[in-house]
Amino acid sequence: MTHRIIIVGGGAGGLELATRLGNTLGKRGKARVILIDANLTHIWKPLLHEVAAGSLNSSADELNYVAQAKWNHFEFQMGRMNGLDREHKRVHLAASLDEQGNELVPARSLDYDTLVIAVGSITNDFGTQGAAEHCICLDTRKQAERFHRQLLGHYMRAHASQGQHNTIGVAIVGAGATGVELAAELHHAARELAAYGLDGIKPEDVHITLIEAGPRVLPALPERISQPVHQTLRNLGVTVLTDAAVSEVTADGLHTRNGDFVPASLKVWAAGIQAPQFLHEIGGLESNRINQLVVRPTLQTTRDENIFAFGDCAACPQPDSDRNVPPRAQAAHQQASLLARSIALRLEGRSLPSYRYRDYGSLISLSSFSAVGNLMGNLTGSIMLEGWLARMFYISLYRMHQIALYGVIRTTLMMIGDKLSTTAPRLKLH
């Protein structure tokens, strides 16, 4: 009987793994590879801040799972995992519903021989009062598009009220990569919207406040990166509040623990991550306090060698360190590459290699204004980048993801098509 490999989660890591395994094991008939995701299309999560600002048209840049599966010799099934039967090696999927609540795909169970869980992470609001009710997170395309619609709604109302002085307040909680990049992208969007004639709100009347509980922006990255980023944000007119933990969110704004109030009609929570709640001790697997599945260096879960987990939803130890692998896109990409080899070795009954995280540096995009980061290598050490060159390296990260999914030739053709496209506006206006 053909070995059944189920991959749950079609994010960057899960989709890359399904594509690699499909083109190796699936194409040769050595395994049946099935990818499961709750959505029909994929968009690279690090780009969701651009979707929210309107700089990226998600409909034009999305990937269809059904087509990708056909092209790369794996199967796709729509569904959301909600249970696990380890004894019978079975994954349970909840029914998929449409916007009216009608059943699209029934609840069902699928059998596996090897299970890979790659469902990513969601925002952790730490139970802050009012955050869930009044803030938008940027975990999914739907959330990013919801923010964009609300932003455009403010501009359309202001455009209809000629002669009035209109302002808009945007508060972003969390000065990590998502929060910083969103702040810069929104400043760019304000300029573009005014240039297209939606000048009921002037760019200088868009008040963007970035709120960070820690002492500096980009707390997870070296200070030599955070300092120029902070200065660029201030030059753009973004108000940056550090050492300012949010205690409550209301419809009108945010309260900080030090007594400040930040008025805002649009609020984004981009601080902290956690794995989805359904993973907490699912099927008796070991999980940590933020619901991540605890894995060995081979990326196998600690209590079941037939189940792997990787990416943001996995707590993977780093050798010679008391810390886990950081939840970053480059880690998920590295782990997907390792698992493509590991699962092939597993089918041959051979021992599996251990994963060792390699930090190749960090790049932060500040929209069209700049980019800042560092590249790390065995020969070059750490190289600080800023400006146009850093921006080009940042764009190349997305192209590398596309190459992993489409190959070099198709990605090159897509890049040429992007350059030749002249009819689309520079900002999504609907």
Q: Which CATH architecture has domain 131-269?
A: 3-Layer(bba) Sandwich (3.50)
Buried b (16+ CB within 10 A) or exposed e, 190-211: bebbbeeebebbebeebbbbbb
Q: Looking up tokens 């990937």, which residue turns up?
A: 63
What was the pLDDT predicted at 198?
A: 87
Both tokens assigned to 101: 């609540």
Separation CA 334–CA 397 (nearest Å): 13
The residues with which 42 forms a beta bridge, in sequence order, are 63
95 φ, ψ to 5°? Answer: -65, 145
**What stretch(es) of the chain map to CATH 3.50.50.60?**
3-121+275-347, 131-269
| CA–CA distance, 391 with 401 (Å, rounded to integer) | 16
The fold adopted by the segment(s) 3-121+275-347 is FAD/NAD(P)-binding domain (3.50.50)
Q: Per-residue pLDDT tens, the chain, 430 aa: give them.
A: 799 999 999 999 999 999 999 999 999 999 999 999 999 999 989 889 999 999 888 877 789 999 999 999 999 999 999 999 999 999 999 999 888 888 888 999 999 999 999 999 999 999 999 999 999 999 999 999 999 999 999 999 998 887 788 999 999 999 999 999 999 999 999 999 999 888 889 999 999 999 999 999 999 888 888 998 999 999 999 999 999 999 999 999 999 999 999 999 999 999 999 999 999 999 999 999 999 999 999 999 999 999 999 999 999 998 878 889 999 888 999 999 999 999 999 999 999 999 999 887 777 888 777 777 766 654 445 666 666 666 677 777 778 888 888 888 888 887 777 776 655 566 777 6
CB distance 164 to 199 below 8 Å: no
